[in-house]
Amino acid sequence: MTELNSPTPPGPSRRTTLRAASGGALLLGTALAGCRSAVSDASSRARDDDGRPRRGGVLDIAVNSDFTPALLFSQSAQSLQHRLVFNTLTRYDDRLVPQPELARSWAYAKDGRSLTLELRDDVTFHNGRAFTADDVIFAVKNLQKPVRAAQLRATAAVVTGFEKRGPHTLVLELAHPVNNLFDLFEFMIITDPESVEDAVAGRRLIGTGPFTLKKWSPGSGLSLARNPAYWRPGRPYLDGVELRVVPQADALVSSLRSGQSQLSFNVPGKSLATVRDAPGLTITDYATGGGAVYLGVNTTVAPLNDRTVRQALAWAVDRDRLLAQSLGGYGLASAAPWPRSSPAFTEAHRTHYTHDPAKARALLRSAGHKGLAFPLLHLALPAETAVAESIQYDLKQVGVRVTLRPTDPATAQKKLISQDMPALWTLGHSFAQVQPSTLAVSAYPFNEARNTSRYRSARYTELVREAWTEPPADRAAAHAQYDRISTLLLDEAFLIDLVVRGQIQVSSDRLHGVRLNKFSYLDLDDAYLA
């Protein structure tokens, strides 16, 4: 067997921290180089006198929507708390090189048709049961079930056999080679098989993670307590975590400024300027590209079945204005889904569509359309409403009237999965921050076999399957592969990317050691309150 050799994108991503200083001055700092993770904490400044992080305290996190148990095994805006209760097998660093978590080490067979995992033997679930290879087998089979609506189900389904070599050694047999198996390992939370149905009903959450569930109060939030038997000695430092639902933007900002909450990832872009001026708060931009704002198009609704009309919409939106006014300037205006850290990123793809309303109007005239009107679904949250209003304004300038249709996050996710969207919608997507093939085989808006736009193309399927199952031997060939996929996405415009952004964290200066994984699962193993 050969050791894993993961592809390496060109250069690490970074994260930027804006710190409120006395007199309102701002100090801009960037961190991270080499293998240091952009999703790891950049600061170790406030510690006890002996140089160690403080032990104790309860962290209050303000969130704008409640935990949705039914979405436990899918990637959504409600995934923040996953890593607090559950562990994953591995985690990526900035260069998409997997690092150990519940898996200590791994090795591929030479033909790429099997992978051997060496698992930790010192891990227990919250109920005291020992973690073994059987739990990994269950986790993979669980994601293979359509009922779980897991975006990485196609990758899980490639695992066709399991060979246990003792309680903590497992061989995964693969139907064919894939280049995103470690995306699955970072995405796949390890749950207790005996209580999984209780988990998706919100009654019990039993994992191996740093915190245990004390209580879920629907509509109010989650209350978590420190796991005293956590497998990382001395971790976590915090005694507990409260995830408190604060749906109104003003109230959320107020809770941070008053110190009632010490952390949030849900401050609307328009409110970030206010937060920047608040003493005692820090804004951190996790520039991993873990999220993107987009305009979705239902290609079965005429005349949106006409590619020319879809391209006109892509030219109509002012991405730079949307970024500045609706998102607080945090992110990267882009017509393509890829962050700069992705091996698929090119500047030419990012700027393929710019703001050109005259060109948009000309395309609509050439297609024989004027005075079009469509509904636009969006989340009924301040930040998402601001994005929808920006799109509405831009489309009106080219003769396309849009009626806003607000909805809640759980309903939007269900519609996304079931392909039940109206003519237009705007949401956020993930999966462009990991292996590029994962976006097109896993993300609901892009899935080559069954996407929300109901777009079908034999050529698209061919390109995606090639990139997923036949990893090229050299970087040049890989770039050519990704270029063909990006060109098709831009030309067909069944999904119109607008801004690539990471998670925007607002936190108290007292809080240190916060991390996010590539799927924006919150990692508080090393977090502490100074």
Question: Which CATH number does the domain housing residue 190 bear?
Answer: 3.40.190.10
CB atoms under 10 Å from CB of 399, counted, come to 18
Q: Has residue 108 been placed in a domain?
A: yes
Token pair 């793809």 is at which residue?
A: 349
Q: Is 109 left (phi over 0), alpha (psi -120 to 50) or beta?
A: beta
Burial of 65 (0-12, 13-18, 19+ CB in 10 A): buried
The CA distance from 298 to 154, in Å, is: 23
Residue 256 and residue 377 in one domain: no
Instruction: Looking at the structure, tell me whether residues 333 and 422 fall in a common domain.
Output: yes
The confidence score (pLDDT) of residue 79 equals 83
430 and 470 part of one domain: yes
Q: 401 and 382: one domain?
A: yes
- Burial, 87: exposed, middle or buried (Cβ in 10 Å; 0-12, 13-18, 19+)? buried
**How many CB atoms are closer than 10 A to CB 217?**
12
The candidate with the shortest Cα–Cα distance to 281, out of 260, 298, 297, is 260
> How many folded domains does the chain comprise?
2
Secondary element (H or E) of residue 362: helix 357-366
Which pLDDT does position 235 carry in this prediction? 97
CA quadruple 107, 108, 109, 111: dihedral, nearest 10: -160
Q: Is 396 helix (H, G, I), strand (E, B) or coil?
A: helix
Whole-number Å distance between alpha carbons of 359 and 397: 12
d(CA 464, CA 461): 5
Q: Which pLDDT score is estimated for 473?
A: 66
Identify the CATH number of the domain in which residue 399 sits: 3.10.105.10
Asked if 263 and 508 touch (Cβ cutoff 8 Å), the reply is yes
- Provide the 3-class DSSP secondary structure of residue 306: coil
Find, among 83, 154, 163, 73, the residue nearest to 117 by Cα: 163
Same domain, 493 and 519: no
Question: Domain span at residue 251?
Answer: 54-262+510-530
What mean pLDDT is reported for the chain?
88
The DSSP letter of residue 129 is: P
End-to-end CA, the chain? 47
Same domain, yes or no: 359 and 228 = no
Local structure of residue 333 (DSSP, 8 states): E
Distance of CA 455 to the CA centre of its chain: 23
491-to-123, 287, 288, 336, 346 alpha-carbon distances in Å:
49, 27, 25, 11, 15
Pairing of strands 332-333, 515-516: unpaired
Q: Give a yes or no: residue 274 inside a domain.
A: no
Q: 241 and 104, same structural domain?
A: yes
Dist CA 304 CA 374 (whole Å): 10
Residue 49 domain flag: no
**Do 305 and 349 belong together in one domain?**
yes
Global model pTM greater than 0.85: no
Which residues sit opposite 429 in a β-bridge? 292
Same-domain check for residues 476 and 515: no
> Is 13 inside any structural domain?
no
Whether 351 and 484 map to the same domain: the answer is: yes
Determine the Cα–Cα distance for residues 103 and 90; give it in Å rounded to an integer.
6
Q: Could you report the per-residue pLDDT of 336-373, keeping only the tens digit for each?
A: 999 998 989 999 999 999 999 999 999 999 999 988 99
Q: Report the chain (530 residues): mean pLDDT per 10 consecutive residues.
A: 34 36 28 31 42 89 90 80 96 91 96 95 98 98 89 94 97 94 96 94 94 94 97 97 94 95 92 88 81 95 97 98 92 94 94 98 95 96 92 98 94 92 95 90 90 96 90 77 96 97 91 92 96
CB atoms within 10 A of CB 172: 21
Helix runs in 63-132, H state only: 82-85
∠ Cα 501 246 61 (to 5°)? 70
- The answer to whether position 276 is within a domain reads no
Tokens read off for 416: 């996304």
In a domain, 43, yes or no: no
Strands 221-226 and 240-245: antiparallel
